Structure 1
């Protein structure tokens, strides 16, 4: 958290009674140091240089003594025991960045080459950097020129957006112009679907029509603009905008600043989420205490005791089993949590010992079958819920239904379990209905090499379809022919945008409805990280 006012607002101590030790430590420190604070010797008739030589302890009064370091360590320990905090524990199910909609201007002006290779291509590069910085966060893409279009609805997979970015150019837009206001309506409609998660809108453009400035300033959603203009170039619309306008830079400092601006409201919402416990930050005080502790190795301090403590630590069985420096200080679960927080989920799964965390790390790394097996060891509603998500992701819909039923049996009020159970049941019913209406498999289909449908209820025929040989004879159906057509992304976007622009205008008073992601039909109603889902409880090593 880099917002100083928000930090000061949230800062407090979890266990403030420990702060009573601070004045007690200061009192003991003053009592020990008091004999060293005696005044100068009152001896008339003695030369000043002789009086200085005859005074005992004068040099010690000005020196940093063991009691000083001990008092500093005890004060830091008391502050740490009080539990300083200024943020909530991150929900392991949730992305740690706000949902965002990127609005890209695809106009002829963006093809100018004063920002090599062009303003548009540089904007695309910045968007890719933005997606990489926000790995795992939900992001959507809107493009506009004379018309505004949702290029891609909310997705957590940044790689899905890359080919769509490459296909965007002024040639694919149905009409010339710059309707930034219409793009804002689409972006707000996308964010409205993200329940309980305040998001932001990022405009990537080189200019704004002055008529759109008032519309953008009236936005209730946090908004920021990345100006794709060279240094020293001005635009009347961008200059009049009250929202933050960040100039493009050669490095990623502009992207990091934009991410911080868009996440401000999201961080405040995280602080207000009473379902998440506060994160104990006492470990921050351990480092200065450890540095002060190094003074104890000086001669005349506690060198002998420190040497004995080090020998005892090295002689302990835990030290003998350590395989690396990290094992000297951190447990495997603590090392796994660090890897998990850094989004190294596969590595975290190898490190975790706790089966709940190990199963969830396997789920986040895409190892769904392994996650289900590991979570069988844990008989909690959380474990069953994660198993259900893993079964759905692995396309084992019937097993997903059973897992969500188990979660509800263990905790009838577990957030999201009832909704996901209903969604999984609808998916199973759809698959079985499609299977019942299918033929006996005589027609060949183009697609996957082999498709096996979950059909435990026995409706219809159990059918396996193998892909037709591309070199085989026979006429192709219309659907098979369309599947063999190789079309560039730009051509696809041109046709789609033209069809959308040809549709009659909607009621301006009606809320804009973005197109439905075709993959959403197969997604549970509540993905991990959506509002209302509690975090996996931390292991005892992580409790502060």
Structure 2
């Protein structure tokens, strides 16, 4: 755990059921009373010889050793603290990213070709960015390049393989203008983060320096900013020294990247803590392990206490469950994960974890296909199938359930499977089961608009002579018979848009460097120049 994460955890620490802490003074009084009685020297009987009395009584040194009451009191303290519900994080939202989205901003100017930092400042920056992507595998990341103008190289993506070839193609020759448009690059990065639907994120600026004229724009950054300075050891830059954001010098190992990742994730976690719609994640179950280990001492000769079992049974009966229930989440909140101590699905794991608990472990590891095979609860199985992209299987699993939540998730799976009519029916079912469900009403309206759009497109394409659909075509349902069935090539999505940015980048046949040079030149020609050669 990084220092930033530890500081944030201490700041957010709380007890969900603090009234259980009232048991701690009672446990302390009990421990003191038993200890005092045990430590009180006994008056030797008058008829027993002194040498026998010494052999039959405990001396002061032995009385100071650990006693059974010590283990009992410590186990009871663990039980009381666990029942109080310690928490310092919010329960994760399964439909939201589990890592902070980030935008990497790379300076691609002639000064970055300096070889005082081997092999060059630019190449070291590219190496650090690749390592940063590997460190954040699966997290959404975008790439922005700037010199005298700023340009989005790759929009937000979870696939680092899309970024790699275009990152390698970035050279000062691909940039249409010389200069330092760091402020414009930061504005582009902020717009990319804003398009993530309000998900908190951060910006990593990789540069060998910043123009003093740009420091004011960087210091006024609306998003968390961290700077990786690609400078040789001992070198300084006046613009970097004037920044309020943390500036970390590039190191031969990954210590600099781990520090930056910790800073960005701390800002993301802080925003997650402020989301009051998510329940707190109860960590009380962690204290069950030390309590259980301490109870093993009671099987040792001389450590048995007749009242200990009753006290432990009383302490293990909290008035509230360990997992605090938050508001009903219609978007299928992921169940709390159990500790993964054994191989999932094996015979040993079955001794300690139920099938649903094993599925929780697989879901927390993002192994949703495995979780779907492990879950016994059909709702959780359908949720795992949905997350794994098995939309038709999820629809079949959830169709057997009678809850509004199941119908809601069934509708989402139908929409993803492009069965829009089925999605409309599922959302109507969710509303029938829960008329107050605002999310189902909003999704129903959206699904109806999608169906109407598809059928209007089919009406417009009704020429009376429609060829048979090919293997690479998608045929949408048309229950209203409005026009002929329309085949849409797979390079368009359900809303009629062209390829996504990731798919489009994969279809570019020209060399990435040539492609970027032409696109950047076109963008720069369409944008007015600013004072330092940047773009607005």
TM-score past 0.5 threshold: yes
Cα 1:377–1:130, aligned 2, differ >3 Å: closer, same or farther? farther
Q: Counterpart of 2:318?
A: none
Cα 1:272–1:484, aligned 2, differ >3 Å: closer, same or farther? closer
- Residue 68 of structure 1 is aligned with which of 67, 70, 84? 70
Q: Counterpart of 1:376?
A: 399
Q: Counterpart of 1:20?
A: 22
What per-residue deviation string (whole Å, max 9, x for no partner) do you get for residues 38-58 of structure 1? 259899xxxxx9799467112
Q: Counterpart of 1:402?
A: 425
What does 1:103-114 align with in structure 2 at a 5 Å threshold? 103-113=105-115
For the pair 1:495 / 2:518, whether they are aligned, the reply is yes
Moved over 6 A (4+): 40-43, 49-52, 441-445
Alpha-carbon offset, residue 466 of structure 1: 9.5
Whole-Å Cα distance in 2 between the matches of residues 278 and 100 of structure 1? Answer: 25
Q: Counterpart of 1:361?
A: 384
Q: Counterpart of 2:88?
A: 86
Alpha-carbon offset, residue 244 of structure 1: 0.6
Q: How many residues align?
A: 473
The alignment partner of 2:128 has SS state of: helix
Structure 1 gap ranges (5+): 44-48, 307-321, 468-482, 514-544
Alpha-carbon offset, residue 261 of structure 1: 1.2
Cα 1:377–1:63, aligned 2, differ >3 Å: closer, same or farther? same
Partners of 2:419 and 2:476 within 8 A in 1: no
The alignment partner of 1:142 has SS state of: strand
Structure 2 gap ranges (5+): 309-344, 491-505
TM-score by length of 2: 0.77
Alpha-carbon offset, residue 331 of structure 1: 1.6
Cα 1:127–1:380, aligned 2, differ >3 Å: closer, same or farther? farther
Partners of 2:418 and 2:476 within 8 A in 1: no
Q: Counterpart of 1:347?
A: 370
TM-score by length of 1: 0.76
- Residue 486 of structure 1 is aligned with which of 509, 524, 527? 509
Whole-Å Cα distance in 2 between the matches of residues 386 and 100 of structure 1? Answer: 29
Alpha-carbon offset, residue 144 of structure 1: 1.0
Q: Counterpart of 1:424?
A: 447
What per-residue deviation string (whole Å, max 9, x for no partner) do you get for residues 444-494 of structure 1? 99x973443333332333355899xxxxxxxxxxxxxxx998323333322
What does 1:198-217 align with in structure 2 at a 5 Å threshold? 198-217=200-219
Alpha-carbon offset, residue 163 of structure 1: 4.1
Q: Counterpart of 2:410?
A: 387
Whole-Å Cα distance in 2 between the matches of residues 224 and 423 of structure 1? Answer: 39
Q: Counterpart of 1:236?
A: 238
For the pair 1:285 / 2:287, whether they are aligned, the reply is yes
Q: Counterpart of 1:472?
A: none
Q: Counterpart of 2:503?
A: none
The alignment partner of 1:3 has SS state of: helix
Partners of 1:405 and 1:421 within 8 A in 2: yes
Alpha-carbon offset, residue 506 of structure 1: 9.3
What per-residue deviation string (whole Å, max 9, x for no partner) do you get for residues 75-117 of structure 1? 1111111111122211122212233222122223334455555
What does 1:155-170 align with in structure 2 at a 5 Å threshold? 155-170=157-172
Alpha-carbon offset, residue 339 of structure 1: 1.8
Partners of 1:398 and 1:454 within 8 A in 2: yes
Whole-Å Cα distance in 1 between the matches of residues 31 and 249 of structure 2? Answer: 54
For the pair 1:34 / 2:57, whether they are aligned, the reply is no
The alignment partner of 1:398 has SS state of: helix
Partners of 2:44 and 2:53 within 8 A in 1: no
Whole-Å Cα distance in 2 between the matches of residues 169 and 415 of structure 1? Answer: 50
For the pair 1:56 / 2:57, whether they are aligned, the reply is yes
Cα 1:395–1:113, aligned 2, differ >3 Å: closer, same or farther? farther
Of stretches 364-373 and 425-434 in structure 1, the one that deviates more from structure 2 is: 425-434
Cα 1:346–1:262, aligned 2, differ >3 Å: closer, same or farther? same
Q: Counterpart of 1:269?
A: 271
Whole-Å Cα distance in 1 between the matches of residues 106 and 384 of structure 2? Answer: 35
Partners of 2:371 and 2:384 within 8 A in 1: yes
Cα 1:170–1:410, aligned 2, differ >3 Å: closer, same or farther? farther
- Residue 144 of structure 2 is aligned with which of 142, 145, 155? 142
Whole-Å Cα distance in 2 between the matches of residues 103 and 419 of structure 1? Answer: 37
Whole-Å Cα distance in 1 between the matches of residues 111 and 53 of structure 2? Answer: 81
RMSD: 3.6
Whole-Å Cα distance in 1 between the matches of residues 153 and 471 of structure 2? Answer: 26
Cα 1:22–1:359, aligned 2, differ >3 Å: closer, same or farther? same
- Residue 13 of structure 2 is aligned with which of 5, 11, 14? 11
